[in-house]
Structure 1
Amino acid sequence: MPTLTLIQRDDCHLCDQAWERMAEAGVADFDPLWIDDDLGLQARYGERIPVLRREDTGAELDWPFDAAAVRAFLR
């Protein structure tokens, strides 16, 4: 499985839902990236969060996504 990063904010209910969808898809290991204290990341991702990123390709999956979309993203 590729290395994954979940780009998110503190106190984000959609981010909590993303964690749940990823668990449903069988993703047990990923790196969280919190953008709250980084103005550059806030400018880049803004309202797109949560965003799931593959570190091997740089591909990003924007919210909303379900477990099937996560599985397809990992193929």
Structure 2
Amino acid sequence: MALVLYGRGDCALCWHAEEALRHADVVAVPIDVDSDAALETRYGERIPVLRNEDNGTELDWPFDAYAIRKFCATA
């Protein structure tokens, strides 16, 4: 499963999301939405967002380690 965490480098909620990923023992590639205008438009107000690139499902904030594990199990 290929996971991406959309966020920003200066986002406190994104840091919490990264911590939740560590607690869930899940790896996601971080992508800064400010690096691409289309991503900024799509995710700018929603970050952080965890996305399963294999099937397109997304988990919007707020989420914790339990929600991440559940999200991954249903993919």
TM-score where L is the length of structure 1: 0.91
User: Which structure's residues are more often helix, by fraction?
Assistant: 2
Alignment: residue pair count: 73
Residue matched to 1:73: 71
Structure 1 runs (4+) greater than 4 angstroms displaced: none
How far residue 37 of structure 1 moved from its aligned partner, in angstroms, is 2.7
Contact 1:10 1:36 in 2 (8 A): no
> Which residue identity does 1:59 align to in structure 2?
T
**Structure 1: which 5+ residue stretches go unaligned?**
none
TM-score where L is the length of structure 2: 0.91
Matched, 1:63 2:71: no
**Structure 2: which 5+ residue stretches go unaligned?**
none
CA distance in 1, matches of 2:5, 2:35: 16
